[in-house]
A and B are shown apart, each in its own frame.
Chain A
Amino acid sequence: GENVEQHPSTLSVQEGDSAVIKCTYSDSASNYFPWYKQELGKRPQLIIDIRSNVGEKKDQRIAVTLNKTAKHFSLHITETQPEDSAVYFCAVLEGNTGKLIFGQGTTLQVKP
């Protein structure tokens, strides 16, 4: 089955700096890669996703890049703000089973 690794496990940045979180996956047939933000006590919220026919996608301060050859994808947050502080999970949709396999999560702290 699919295996997803996420790094780093914790990330601390100053407000206004950029943050990058990386994930690798194992199954070359996987073709959907969402990123979730989870605040304490709340549900995972989809913040951006990318499909295998696209290399990069941007939404305001958030971008995701995908390298299918190397089987990795990254979340980029620019001009970070304290409200960006949360746990971020990458995920990979495993083939046609519908199983969403999550990375272990990155705790992002943005210091004012």
Chain B
Amino acid sequence: DTEVTQTPKHLVMGMTNKKSLKCEQHMGHRAMYWYKQKAKKPPELMFVYSYEKLSINESVPSRFSPECPNSSLLNLHLHALQPEDSALYLCASSRSGGGANYGYTFGSGTRLTVV
């Protein structure tokens, strides 16, 4: 299995809702990432988990809360989002945070719309 699977593919939520994005990989990768991508812009890193521990938080607002229950799963919990948070949310994984072989792989993303 060489895929990173993200669910749901599309999500529409109100500003008072709580929802979660899910990401799963079975490649044995020990680093997992959340990126946010606005239209026609490059992906922007949000969080990095390395060996199930949060290693990087790029000053992301607390309305985004990541969770890594185990080495194969990564969640992003959403609460009280704003319309400007509407974007494509991409999960990625890699063998580690460094080294010669990275295998950096992106999931197909969740298209989030906040209304």
Chain A interface residues (CB < 8 Å from chain B): 32, 34, 36, 41-46, 51, 87, 89, 93, 95-105, 107
Complex contacts, A98 vs chain B, CB 8 Å: 31, 33, 48, 50, 55-56, 94, 96-98, 102
Question: Please, how many residues of chain B have a CB less than 8 angstroms from a CB on the other chain?
Answer: 26
Q: Which of A32, A42, A105 contacts B108 (CB 8 A)?
A: A42
A107 to B40, CA, bound (A): 9
Q: Which of B40, B45, B100, B109 contacts A99 (CB 8 A)?
A: B45
> B91 CB to closest chain A CB, in angstroms?
10
Complex contacts, A45 vs chain B, CB 8 Å: 106
Q: Which of B48, B104, B105 contacts A97 (CB 8 A)?
A: B48
Complex contacts, B107 vs chain A, CB 8 Å: 43
Interface pair A43/B42, CB less than 8 Å apart: no
User: Given A43-B107, A43-B109, A96–B97 Cβ distance below 8 Å?
Assistant: yes
In the complex, per-residue mask of B29-44: 1 if CB is within 8 Å of any chain A CB, else 0: 0010100000011110
Complex contacts, A107 vs chain B, CB 8 Å: 40
> B87 CB to closest chain A CB, in angstroms?
13
